[in-house]
Structure 1
Amino acid sequence: MTASLFKAGSLSEADDGPLYLRLQSMIRSGIADGRLRPNDALPAERDLATNLGVSRVTVRKALRGLVDEGVLRQRHGSGTFVSRSADRIEQPLSRLTSFTEDMRSSGRVPGTRWLDRSTDRPSAEEATILGLPTGARVTRLSRLRLVDGDPVAIEAAVVPASAIPDPLRVDASLYDALAAAGMHPVRAVQRLAAISLGAAEAALLGVMPGAAAVAIERIAYLPDGSVIEFTRSHYRGDACDFVAELSLASQADGFEAAGPTMEG
């Protein structure tokens, strides 16, 4: 089907306007009428440029714009694909639950590829955030998060080694391990920011360097107010939607945004 969509001369039949916008319109139309389906691979940039009689710069500009919009996704070394827009992972920001629990409750298959499980001395920043005494150690848990076999996030969590002295005790869920130790967090503060992925992170997530991502920094607390978890994460921008439910509180309380949902 992709061959018929990108046949020679087809771009000249599109609406007037800059060539890259006409190519974007053609791709959107192909998705709308079913000629391009989720996960379909587009021809290589060189082949598109040759077939359509345009420059590779035009093709690259068109594809990059659609990638930024989430219509397409690019995998480093593999090519450009139609996004699984209907399958985007929706993450509510109103519950403090585990990534594993969230994925299973939505009918997904969560997975983990461990990058690091170790104990170490904390950095000055980590010691301050976790409120650790001099000489204390931390357990580091870095992993690639998978959903239905696809990489969606890189998470690097740090917890006091006194809570989890053996990193191998953590399997799929950090919060399950904390709960087993009697230290399940009851609330968390989470900050989100838009970033572009560096080469190393992009390679792990299977996207092109510079791809859009959401950086998340989370600090989780125990009932007594002490910090039990400090996590930094990078989520693929083309894979996840973060949803917060807001309610109108009394004037005395003001507006209150829902709390964070995902664990490290």
Structure 2
Amino acid sequence: MLSLLRLRSDTAMPLYRQIESQLRELILSGSLPPGVILPAERQLADSLGVSRVTVQRAYAELSDNDFLVPRGRSGFLVRRPPEPVRPGMDRLKGFTEEMRELGKIPSSRILDRAVTQDRSIASIFGLPSTAPFLRLTRVRSGDGVPMSREVAWYNIRAVPALETGDLSGSVYAFLGGHPNGRLVRCEQTVEATMPTADECEIFAFERPLPCLLIKRHSYNQDSVMIEYVEGLFRGDVYRYRLNLSA
């Protein structure tokens, strides 16, 4: 492994960043496959002729991004990084359709389902504070890997069948089969945030990692708001792709 690292003095890139980027490329290319043990910090530092702090910073970057797992004095274990998911944002589609387009098997686990009243949610929908909503909390997975935890509220005045319908699969497909339910447009925002302890457990994070919080307002053909959803997507695998043109 040491023979594959080439540190340069004719570049402004810090030494720790050179080590980190080269090791990252070796892991992604398969030259350092999962299960390989990298040398301990002091051993690698002595071999490369750099300070231990330099190697420590490089290893820390890789560990924070789930490329390495500390193994104490034994060194660092190379782990298999999650496969990135790059969905497009070219049209309105649900998670189930998105996963199928990417060649993954979608699945959902319902954590909570309840009909409720919520003044702040009613304000988002532009409805009276006493309006009833279906609140649905789910973990969404692709090929068995948890991708997101989402909390969604649905306008059951507009689509009464939501209250008792089977929502174990695609909610968008369910809505499309009912009067006033088909969604035709949405307004969506994406922002960075950190997961809670419960969300870290869902995603099997050893430490909190940055995530994407996606908020979506979805409307039917009559511009009636049917859905408001806040979905937390794991930032280590979920990356949005945008196609822009002049």
TM-score range relative to shorter protein: 0.7 to 0.9
Give the TM-score normalised by the residue count of structure 2. 0.77
CA RMSD of aligned residues (A): 3.1
Is 1:49 the counterpart of 2:41? The answer is yes
Q: CA deviation at 1:57?
A: 6.8
Aligned residue runs from structure 1 range 77-92, under 5 A: 81-84=79-82, 87-92=83-88
Q: Is the 8 A contact 2:112 2:137 kept in 1?
A: yes
Give the letter aligned to residue 236 of structure 2: D
> What amino acid maps onto 2:168 in structure 1?
D
- The gaps in structure 2 that reach 5 residues or longer are 70-76
User: Is 1:139 matched with 2:134?
Assistant: yes
Mapped partners of 2:8, 2:117: distance in 1: 62
TM-score (ref. length: structure 1): 0.72
Does residue 224 of structure 2 align to residue 232 of structure 1? no
Shift in alpha-carbon separation, 1:80–1:223, aligned structure 2, 3 A: farther
Aligned residue among 182, 185, 190 for 1:184: 182
Q: Distance in 2 between matches of 1:32 and 1:104?
A: 25
Residues 218 and 225 of structure 2 are in contact (CA less than 8 Å); yes or no, is this contact kept in structure 1? yes
The code of the aligned residue for 1:91 comes to P
- What is the match of residue 148 of structure 2? 153
**1:184-226 deviations in whole A, cap 9, x for unaligned?**
1110000011222232222211224331211111000111212
Shift of 1:35: 2.4
Q: Is residue 102 of structure 1 aligned with residue 92 of structure 2?
A: no
- Structure 1 counterpart of 2:184, which letter? V
CA apart distance, 1:56: 8.7
Quote the offset at 1:236 in angstroms: 1.1
CA contact (8 A) 1:129 1:227 kept: no
Partner of 1:170: 167
Q: Give the 3-state SS of the residue equivalent to 1:100 in structure 2.
A: helix
User: Which one of the candidate residues 96, 107, 129 is aligned to 1:111?
Assistant: 107
Contact 2:90/2:243, CA 8 A, preserved across alignment = yes
- Which structure is richer in relative contact order (CA contacts within 8 A, separation 6 or more)? 1
* Farther off after superposition, 175-184 or 150-159: 175-184
Give the alignment partner of residue 194 of structure 2, picking from 187, 193, 196: 196
Q: 1:221 to 1:33 in 2, by over 3 A?
A: closer
Q: Which amino acid aligns with 1:145?
A: R
Cα 1:111–1:71 change in 2 (3 A) is: same
Give 1:234's aligned amino acid: L
Identity of aligned residues (%): 29
Q: Give the secondary structure class of the aligned counterpart of 1:230.
A: strand
- Taking the aligned partners of 2:55 and 2:147, their CA distance within structure 1 comes to 26
Letter in 1 for 2:148: A
Alpha carbons 2:112, 2:138 under 8 Å: kept: yes
Which residue is 2:72 aligned to?
none
Q: Is the 8 A contact 2:186 2:219 kept in 1?
A: yes
Q: Which stretch shifts more, 157-166 or 183-192? A: 157-166
Gaps of 5+ in 1: 249-264
1:70-127 alpha-carbon deviations (Å, 9 max, x no partner): 68387xxxx862424xx421111111112111211221111212221222222x2200
CA distance in 2, matches of 1:43, 1:202: 26
Number of corresponding residues: 227
Secondary structure class of the residue paired with 2:149: strand
